[in-house]
Amino acid sequence: MGKSSIKAKMVIDKEFQISEIDPRIYGSFIEHLGRAVYGGIYEPEHPTADEHGFRQDVIDLVKELQVPIVRYPGGNMVSAYNWEDGVGPKEDRPRRLELAWRTIETNQVGTNEFMDWTKKANTDVMMAVNLGTRGVDAARNLLEYTNHPGGTYWSDLRKSHGYEDPHNIKVWCLGNEMDGPWQLGQKTAHEYGRLAYETAKAMRLVDPSIELVTCGSSSSQMPTFPEWEAETLEHTYEVADYISLHQYYGNRSDDTANFLAKSMDMDNFIHTVIATCDYIKAKKRSKKNMYLSFDEWNVWFHSNNQDKEIEPWSIAPPQLEDVYTFEDALLVGSMLNTLLRHSDRVKIACMAQLVNVIAPIMTENGGGAWKQTIFYPYFYTSVYGRGVALNPVVSSPKYDSKDFTDVPYLDPSVVYNEEKEELVVFATNRHLSETLEVDIDIRAFEGYEIAEHVVLEHENAKAVNTATDEQVKPHTNGESFVQDGKLTGIFPKFSWNMVRLTKKQS
């Protein structure tokens, strides 16, 4: 190889199954915030806009990512949102002060338009209701509007707006980050638990087929975590299907080794939430499992300072427009690995967000659309990470960083797609200067050979992509090989990798 390397080992077996992966683990998020909607998915004046004003160039990129579900309309914004403002004739819709982000909301896009967009983008919606400034009544009316076939006030109103068939939205979030002091209508755990329970009860009476997500903590750093989970679940355990988790990371102290280890915090967060759910399950002598919806996750910090300069009450200003670096893409790859390794309990996850706002896809108003660095691990994991997640037995050298001890240099996840006879290894090499040579026992995969080894690597941790210059993009010259039934993974220093094996056709 001619490069200095360190060695690791891994055993992969068909029998070591974590779970069938719920495709919704590759979900994303569009909030009425910044240029996510206006200038992102919707820009009627854009040269690629369709008859509804949706940018086709953006739809094409979203389709490339194969995003199965998109959370909407917020986020912090939903906690003061009147959904009625966004339906009916566009010329009659009110302009409102949007208090979460201190902008003007024109309401030119609302529930029905977003449903139209999801069809075009080949995705589904995960709808949030306002439990900040509103409550049971607005939530049950919205559900009647979207899901009831007809013959009632709200369902007939939908029909009169041109939507004869119900939207049949299946997954609903009971508010957003209700533990956060920044949230309009923040609640104590007791207040939220009661309100979420009563809202869930009413919504299930309107449509028993829906699935409900109860709010967990806004991050693992919240002072009320995990007591918030324990106390709210006392109320919502039997009516909710999922509890939410949100987490963003940043490299504020410019310590790359420590930054790359932050997916270990995500792992720990998931463990604690599972433990808390199972504690309430035991306490309630319940037979039901609570599943996890990690419905906001990403890197978010680059834009924090510039956002302080934004003029209040502007329309769709460039907010939360993080320009992602190469090292961000590596952490995103490891966060996806973490989600896959917990796919027995994490059934929904949303990269926050999808377009312009802390997003893998960027646009220029009136101009082009392009891929940020983080687009790539998200793309490959979403497209090829379908099937069963396997539990790799890993033995890797480790390091200590400022906040973490025993950080494995090798961070993998493994997916087996039986139907396609495909085995996929995703791996981050966290070592900043050494190649990682991994001896991988693939004993149960006789006759499998490498179809491609995709590598995302760059000399400069801070390299970024812009509209005109794509510095960070993957190549397929990975050097891994299979010999005598053994896969040797060669993962370059400081890189993200996907090794895809398929069965040799005899």
Which is closer to ligand AHR, CB of 354 or CB of 442? Answer: 354
Query: Cα 27 from chain centroid?
Result: 5
Q: Name, in order, each residue with C-beta under 8 angstroms of 151's C-beta and a sequence gap of 6 or more.
A: none
Q: Determine how β-strand 346-351 pairs with β-strand 291-299.
A: parallel
Kindly state the smallest distance separating residue 335's Cβ from ligand AHR, in Å. 15
Kindly state the smallest distance separating residue 212's Cβ from ligand AHR, in Å. 17
What's the full length of the chain, in residues?
Answer: 506
> Is 328 within 8 Å of 464 (Cβ atoms)?
no
Which is closer to ligand AHR, CB of 175 or CB of 478? Answer: 175
Kindly state the smallest distance separating residue 76's Cβ from ligand AHR, in Å. 4
**Long-range contacts for 203-206 (Cβ within 8 Å, ≥24 apart)?**
203/129, 203/139, 203/140, 203/143, 203/172, 204/239, 205/140, 206/140, 206/143, 206/144, 206/147, 206/148
Cβ-count burial 461-493 (b if 16+ within 10 Å, e if not): bebbbeeeeeebebeeebebebeeeebebbbbb
In the set 229, 296, 422, 437, the catalytic residue is 296
- 296 is a catalytic site residue: yes
- Residues near ligand AHR (CB under 6 A) are 31, 74-76, 176-177, 218, 246, 296, 352-353
388: how many CB neighbours lie within 10 A of its CB?
Answer: 17
Kindly state the smallest distance separating residue 305's Cβ from ligand AHR, in Å. 16
Cβ-count burial 320-331 (b if 16+ within 10 Å, e if not): bbbebbbbbbbb
Kindly state the smallest distance separating residue 358's Cβ from ligand AHR, in Å. 6
Kindly state the smallest distance separating residue 296's Cβ from ligand AHR, in Å. 5
Rounded Cα distance, 352 and 129, in Å: 18
Which is closer to ligand AHR, CB of 153 or CB of 182? Answer: 182
Q: Which alpha helices (H) appear in 121-262, and where do they start and end?
A: 136-147, 153-160, 189-206, 227-236, 256-260
Residue number, nearest CB to ligand AHR: 75
Which is closer to ligand AHR, CB of 76 or CB of 334? Answer: 76
Strands across the sheet containing 481-483: 393-395, 5-11, 435-441, 486-491, 481-483
What would the two tokens of residue 116 be?
């139209």
In the set 31, 84, 105, 177, the catalytic residue is 177
Which is closer to ligand AHR, CB of 76 or CB of 106? Answer: 76
Kindly state the smallest distance separating residue 263's Cβ from ligand AHR, in Å. 19
Rounded Cα distance, 472 and 375, in Å: 10
Which is closer to ligand AHR, CB of 77 or CB of 442? Answer: 77
- 418 is a catalytic site residue: no
Which is closer to ligand AHR, CB of 27 or CB of 74? Answer: 74
Rounded Cα distance, 354 and 360, in Å: 6
Catalytic residues: 177, 296
